[in-house]
Every structure is written in structure tokens, then in C-alpha cells.
Structure 1
Amino acid sequence: MENTENMTPDTDQNCDTDARIAELRNGIDEIDNNLLELINKRLTLVKDVGKLKAREGRQVLDSTRESQIFERLLGLNEGPLNEKVLRHLFTQIMAASRQLQTPHRVTFLGPEATFTHIAAMSHFGHSVEYIPQHSIRDVFNEVEKGTCHYGVVPVENSIEGAINHTLDLFFESELKICAEKYQHISHDLLAASGTLQDIRKVYSHPQAFAQCRRWLQKYLPDATLRECRSTAHAARKAAKKQGSAAIASSEAAHMYQLNVVASRIEDVARNTTRFLIIGKDEIHRTGQDKTSLMFVTSHIPGALYKTLKPLSESDINMVKLESRPTKHQNWSYFFFVDIEGHIEDEKIRETLSRMESLCLYLKCLGSYPRATEYRQ
């Protein structure tokens, strides 16, 4: 029998601590059991919703509904769960819900581990099937053919500006913008060796080189820079070539078994890319929406001013204006405009009708929930 007289105060305290930890862990296990039961109950209800949608031929992805869920949960959350983790958890739950209703295929500008791939997974979760493409045009084509339900393409970067090829393809396509996603872009230097001294050649996308120029000049001034079609492709090359490195994402390091030699090497920390989710769905209003337009004006003085004037008169906020050559006639341009509001809003409909009468061509590219830009 144990002699309790020899037990020290420290031993007593350790016993009390262990007992308290065991008690807390039992409470955690009980909560986990309840969470699992509730998640499965939620998925059962989702399956019933899916059957009703299928009966009436409704779309599975409901960006309006998902946006409302996030807004409600964020309003209810009192912590310590932070917003980013909350969004991540429920993105995965809703992704699993969509897969129960109809398995989704999402295509993106590849290969895997590009920032477009990361943005797609952040928006749709990990439960969908992802199909990489070699070009933005291929992403559009696969969604237009119906091979994939949705596509994810970059449209603008906070430092480098618009991705013109994406804008040009909207002129040819009948696809709609179903959602937008802001993704923080952070570059790491990846290499098999894991040390700067061994690196003689660096692979990356031209945009990544431009965004890390000062760092490269300071720490790798003698290295040869080789451009690749994507940061993920650069990581793949670096993994095969001795004495080389890649500027890519930390996700690419995991995928291609590379070491992170240096983290966050971008010259400007607040680097964000806006991605668009394209598809064939008409997205209903949430009250916090954005509408994207494309139009062509007459080639006469004051034409652009006259076309945009109804926005000002209706007190509609314009958040983006971009021009691109039409390529059908010299010095002829089409304009891209993002405005606050939804096409289902009476004020928006009436204003667009007035604008249409003042220009040669006007097309609504879609109304969709307005995303919150990434904040560090």
C-alpha cells in the first residue's frame, strides 16, 4: 500500500493538474461527439434540400445562400474563434454539402499549387474535384462545354493591375461571374538544398519576379533568373535541378518536396489578387452585391462621360473602370465597370437601361456577392 505521508506538495499539485486536464479532455470529447452528430444531421438535411432542388432543376451552388450563412455566423460569433478560421471551417462543411447533392468539378489555371488553385480551394473547399488547365482560355472553354461546373481565373492584382487576357475572354464568352475571391499573395523561395549559398538559378513566373525584385537584388544578385508559365511549374523545375530554386507558394513546397529557404520575400506585403468564379448560374441578390458590366461606346468626344453619367445621377458607386482595345477596329475600346448593387435592384436595372441607350453595346457579366478583401 502506498505511503501517502511521503507525498510532497508538488506531487499533490501534479495529481490535481492531471485530474483537471483529464476532466477538461472528457468535456472536449463530449463536445466533439456532439459536433460530429450535428454535422451529420446537417448533411442529412442538405441531402433533402438537394432532392427538392433536383426535382425542380435548380442549381446546387447557391452563392447567395452561402453568403448569407457566413454573414449570419460572423454576426453571431463572439470568439475566441477568429473570422478566418470560421470561414475555413464552414467552407469545408458547405463543400461537403454540395458534394452530397451533386459532385462538382471546378477547373482552374494550373498546374496544382498555383495561387489560382489555392484561391479555388479557399472558395470551394477540398471536397470538389479540381481540374487544372494550361491557359485561362482553356478554363473558359471547359465551363462553356459543361465539362466542369465552374472555373476560377485571376482578373487583377493589387500591384500589377488587370489580367488583360481574362477581360478579353469575357467579350467572346457568355459565361457569368458567379462570385469573386480576394487571395493574399505571399512568395517563398523554395529549394531542395534549403540554403541560399547553393542557389545559382531561380525559376518563377514573370509577375513573381517583378514582385520580389528588391529581395533578389539584395540576397541573390548573381543568380540567373528563368521565367516559367506559373509559380507551380517553377517549383516543379526547381525540384529536378540541382543548385536551383523557385519563387512560389508554401503549398508548392509541400507538393514538390522542397524546403522553404526564405519566407514572404515579396517587396510589398499587402499583395492581393482578385479571382473570379465563372459559370452559367444567375446569382440572386444578397444586399451586399457587385455587378460587372462590359460596354462599347461610339468613337466621339464625350461618349464615355455620357455613358457613365447615369451612374452618377442614380448615386451608384463605381468601384472599377478598365479599358481594353476591341481588336476589331483600330482605336476602338470596350470598357469594364464594376458597380455596387445587383441587377435585381430596380435602381440598377433602370440605370443600365439608360446606359444601354447611350452606347453601341452593353453586356452584364453578372451580379454576385461582394467579397471582403483580404486583410493581414
Structure 2
Amino acid sequence: MSAESSGQDEKIANLRRSIDEIDDTILDLLNRRVSLAEAIGTLKTQTGNRVMDKAREESILQRLAGLNPGPLSSEMLRRIFVDIIAASRQAQEPKRISFLGPEATFTHVAALAFFNELDTFVPHPSIRDVFDDVEKGTSRYGVVPVENSIEGAVNHTLDLFLESELHICAESYLAISHDLLSKSGDLEKIHTIYSHPQPFAQCRTWLKTHLPHAELVECGSTSQAAQKALLADDAAAIAGSAAARLYDLKVAAPAIQDAVRNTTRFLVIGRDAPRPTGNDKTSILFVTAHIPGALFKALEPIAASGLNMLKLESRPARHKNWSYVFFVDLEGHVENEKVKQCLAKMEAFCQFIKILGAYPVALSDA
């Protein structure tokens, strides 16, 4: 071995020793951080505070991004600290999250993105089952779809808020991309396509153009469709990329949805009451008297207060024919004085009004 080669080896060994020393320090600091998180978790338990503070977590990530001098990229920094924060949350209180399943559905993907893979995720066959699981305390949170930018509201979710005492703790948006999956990945072999009714509706034009003679068979979920596609060489499923990975299917055609910007909004339901962040929305439902101008009078305080109404949806009331329940999202937190006064004025024109939750506004991909 030459003297030059020996010198290079010694430099590498010194650098590796320095890395080992840094790793030892990182390990010590990580354990100290988790210990502090455990202490916070104990205090939360003592005070009955169960708030999932996503705003606090985001502020941590933004602060660190502002301090980062490099060469670590902002994206890599975020990925590292998302996992560190998740481990700290897990130390505070391991969480069980129910979601509209089965696995690899878009709701499952949304739940994983909002929480973390360190938590326990439990699939349920219906939205009602998710609500029931959280109400019983078996799961701390539930994740359910509430509206799609193409197909509109998920009515079953809205209806369940009429009878449930759970709160909306957070919202999340997920860009929806539908792939055509099959065992072979060969488009010409496909004669039968399985999927949920919504993906069929969202891919209608593509299917008529590329596979006009294929038989379309509806399933309860995109995951169930993927399972059926595994059973025959001439079958395919419309599902997401998560289903392709889980069931080892090939992509016969990617992103076949007709609308490019197809986004679904999901709600995190639980018993928490998130604190104001300065960028919040308040969701309410109300029932008006069945008289002319009742809805106008109920909504007039919103306009008069200068609050932005972000959403208005109606559903038939179950207790009386031709009576309706209205769902409204308002800009601002319910603890804000302007929002409080507005809701108080609305009560005079409503037979019933209920605050569903006040929570941070999520970024939408729409």
C-alpha cells in the first residue's frame, strides 16, 4: 500500500469517527426530545387536554426551514423532522385512528399523510362504523371523506353529524389520481373493469374513448376492485397507486381521471377542540323554520359581519318532510368575537344550530 493511499484511508477513518461522535450526540438529543414530549403528554393527560396541535408542528417545521443553512435541502430537512415529531407524538400517547377502509383506499392514504405510519390505523367498512368507533373511545380519531371537487358532497358524512357529538378536529385535502391496474399491465387484454362508482364517474370519458366495450363492474371500494383484478388475466381495476403497491398490480394506464385537478376533502373527527391559529374555519349546521325568507334571514348575519362563507350545503331533514338542514363553513375560529356574535344573531332565525368544530384551514391542491 502506497503512502498516499494509506494517508487517504486515515482521513476517511477520521471522518467516520467524527460522524460516529455526531451520531452519538444526535441519539442523545433525540432521546432528550422524546423525554420532553412524554412530560408534555403527562401534563396534557392531567389537564384533560387532548388537542392534536398540527399548527404547532407546522410552525416547528417552518422555523427550522428558516434556520437551515444547508447543505441539507429543505425537503430532506422536513422529511427528517416530520418523523422526529411523529416519534415524539407517539411517546406522548400512541394513537389509534379509524378510517373508511379497506387499506390502500384514498381515505387510508389521507389518514397516513395527516398522521404518521407509527400510529395504529384501523379500517372500517362504512362511515358510520368510523363514527361509532371514535364515539365509543376505541379510536381517538377517525378520518372520513366529506366532499370531492368533481362529485360534490359525501352526504352520508354530513348526515351523521346530525346525530353525533363528535367534533371536526382538522381537515385534509388529497389530490386524487386514478390508475388502471391489472396483472399484466397490457391494455389490450382488459375486458372487465372493477371499481367504486365514484372512480367510474370520474373516468367516464377516458373509458369510453379507450375501452368502450369493457364491462364495468361496481365494487364497494377501490381496494376490493384491486383484489378482484388479481383473479383474472382479462380484468383490471381503477384504483390509486397505493393499491398497485399493496396488491402487486401493474399500471396499464396512469392518471385516467377526466378532470386534471380532482381533489377530495377529508375530515378528522374526534373530541378535541383545536386552539385558534389565526387561519381557521368554523363548521356549523342549522335548521330554519319552514317559512318564506327563513334561509335568507339566517344567513344575513354572516354577510353583515363581514365573514367569508366558505361553503353552503343542504340536506333533507329526517324528522320532517320538505325541511332541510344546512351546513356552513365560516372563515374564522368560533372563539373569535366576530364569529361568536354572528352565530348568536343567527340563532334568532334558526330552530336549531350546532357547532361542528373550529379547526385550522388546510392547504388545498384544488
Q: 1:91 to 1:277 in 2, by over 3 A?
A: farther
Q: SS at the partner of 2:193?
A: strand
Q: The residue matched to 1:171 in structure 2 has which SS? A: coil
Which residue does 1:359 correspond to in 2?
350
| Aligned match for 1:98, one of 72, 77, 89 | 89
Partner of 1:281: 272
Following TM superposition, by how much is the alpha carbon of 1:64 offset from its aligned partner in structure 2, in angstroms? Answer: 4.3
Q: 1:296 aligns with which of 272, 279, 287?
A: 287
Q: Distance in 1 between matches of 2:264 and 2:23?
A: 36
Partner of 1:150: 141
1:196-217 CA deviation, whole Å, 9 max, x = no partner?
1221111111110111112212
User: Which of 177, 180, 197 matches 1:189?
Assistant: 180
CA pair 238-361 structure 1, distance change in 2 beyond 3 A: same
Distance 1:111 1:87, change over 3 A: farther
CA, structure 1 residues 339+60, in 2 after alignment: closer, same or farther (shift >3 Å)? closer
Structure 1 residues 360 and 271: alpha-carbon distance in aligned structure 2, compared to 1, 3 A threshold: same
2:308 to 282, 300, 317: 317
Give distance in 2, aligned partners of 1:35 and 1:291.
41
Kept in 2: contact 1:67–1:286 (CA 8 A)? no
Q: Is the 8 A contact 2:51 2:274 kept in 1?
A: no
Aligned pairs for 1:95-134 within 5 A: 95-134=86-125
Secondary structure at the residue paired with 1:337?
strand
* Corresponding residue for residue 7 of structure 1: none
Provide the secondary structure at the position in 2 that maps to 1:347: helix
Indicate yes or no: 2:177 matched with 1:198.
no
Q: Which deviates more from structure 2 when the two are superposed, residues 269-278 or residues 235-244? A: 235-244
Give unmatched runs, 5+ long, in structure 1.
5-15
Residues 328 and 93 of structure 1: is their aligned pair in 2 closer, same or farther, counting only changes over 3 Å? same
SS across alignment from 1:141: helix
Partner amino acid, structure 2, of 1:108: F
- In the TM superposition, what are the counterparts of 1:73-92 in structure 2 within 5 Å? 73=64, 81=73, 89-92=80-83
CA contact (8 A) 2:51 2:273 kept: no
Q: 183-192 vs 257-266, which deviates more?
A: 257-266
> Relative to structure 1, is the Cα distance of residues 197 and 130 closer, same or farther in structure 2, using a 3 angstrom cutoff?
same
Which one-letter code corresponds to 2:190 in the other structure?
A: I
Instruction: Find the residue that maps to 2:230 and give its secondary structure.
Output: helix
Matched, 1:264 2:261: no
Deviations 1:215-234 (A, max 9, x none): 21222222111111111111
Per the alignment, residue 49 of structure 1 pairs with 40
Structure 2: distance between partners of 1:138 and 1:178: 18
**Residue 163 (structure 1) aligned with residue 154 (structure 2):** yes
Contact 2:193 2:237 in 1 (8 A): yes
Which stretch has the larger CA shift, 42-51 or 225-234?
42-51
Q: Which residue of 1 is the match for residue 208 of structure 2?
A: 217
Q: Give the drift of 1:292.
A: 0.2
1:137 aligns with 2:155: no
Is the contact between residue 52 and residue 274 of structure 2 (CA under 8 Å) also seen in structure 1? no
Which one is further off, 20-29 or 43-52? Answer: 20-29
Matched-pair identity in %: 57
Instruction: Tell me how far apart the structure 2 counterparts of residues 32 and 274 of structure 1 sit (CA, whole Å).
Output: 40
The equivalent of 2:364 in structure 1 is 373
Distance change in 2, residues 1:225/1:51 (3 Å): same
SS at match of 2:162: helix
> 2: CA distance between counterparts of 1:105 and 1:168?
24
Q: 2:221 matched to 1:230?
A: yes
For structure 2, the residue ranges without an aligned partner over 5 or more in a row are none
Give 1:56 shift. Answer: 2.7
Give the TM-score normalised by structure 2. Answer: 0.90
**TM norm structure 1:** 0.88
C-alpha contact (below 8 Å) 1:143/1:150 kept by paired residues:
yes
- Determine if contact 2:183/2:250 at 8 Å carries over to the other structure: yes
Distance 1:101 1:248, change over 3 A: same
Report how far residue 25 of structure 1 moved: 9.0
Partner SS, residue 31 of structure 2: helix
AA paired with 1:309? E
C-alpha separation in 2, matches of 1:221 and 1:20: 66
Report the equivalent of 2:53.
62
CA distance in 1, matches of 2:115, 2:361: 16
Moved more, 138-147 or 96-105: 96-105
Q: Compared with structure 1, are the counterparts of its residues 46 and 236 closer, same or farther at alpha carbon in structure 2 (3 Å cutoff)?
A: same
* Contact preservation (8 Å) 2:203, 2:257: yes
Letter in 1 for 2:121: Y
